[in-house]
Amino acid sequence: MSLTLKWIIQILVCILATQLTRFLPFLVFREGKTVPPFVTWIGHHLPRACMAMLVIYCLKDVSFAQAGAWVPAIVATVVTSLLHLKFKNMFLSICAGTGLYMILLRLIP
């Protein structure tokens, strides 16, 4: 299979999944239908589990074999979170966190 075709399939898969989540409520809950309590409940709690999963997913290539392979990512992750707790400014947190990561990446062997 050619690489282009693989990319197209991957994009289509993501479009399908995304649009499924966007259109499903409108298809399932037509007038007068009540939403099951489990659905409302998990909708309230799932996003937080999901973001935690994505953070670990991003850090999956961190290796503890040598400092250069984990210090930049771990330090920048902690600093990003602390900056955001303190200043509540997404732009600042992401720019400073990414900048710090890029600097540490070049400084630590």
Partner 1 sequence: MRRILKRAFPETLPVLAGYIFLGIAYGIAMKVRGFHVLWSISISVFVYGGSLQFAMLEPMSRAAEMFAPLTLFFLALLVQARHLFYGLTMLEPYNRAGAVRPYVIFAMSDETYSLVCSGAPRDLPENKWYAAITALDQFYWVAGTVIGALLGEMIPVEYLTGIDFSMTALFVVIMTDQTRGAMESVRDGSMTLPQALFPPLLGLFGTLLGLLLAGRDSFLLFAMAVILLGFGVFYQTDRKSSAKVQREGRVKKP
Question: Residue numbers of the site for partner 1 (CB under 8 A)?
Answer: 1, 3, 6-7, 9-11, 13-26, 29, 35, 38-61, 72-73, 76-77, 80-81, 84-85, 90-91, 93-94, 97-98, 101-102, 105-106
What's the min distance (Å) between Cβ of 82 and partner 1? 9
What's the min distance (Å) between Cβ of 47 and partner 1? 5
What's the min distance (Å) between Cβ of 104 and partner 1? 8
**Residues near 48 by beta carbon (within 8 Å), at least 6 away in sequence:** none
What's the min distance (Å) between Cβ of 44 and partner 1? 8
**Residues near 101 by beta carbon (within 8 Å), at least 6 away in sequence:** 72, 73, 76
Place of tokens 């992401």: 94
* Dihedral sign (CA 3, 7, 8, 10): positive
Half-sphere exposure of residue 5, counting CA atoms within 13 Å on the CB side?
A: 2
Q: Which helix (H) or strand (E) holds 4?
A: helix 3-28
Of 67 and 102, which has the nearer Cβ to partner 1?
102
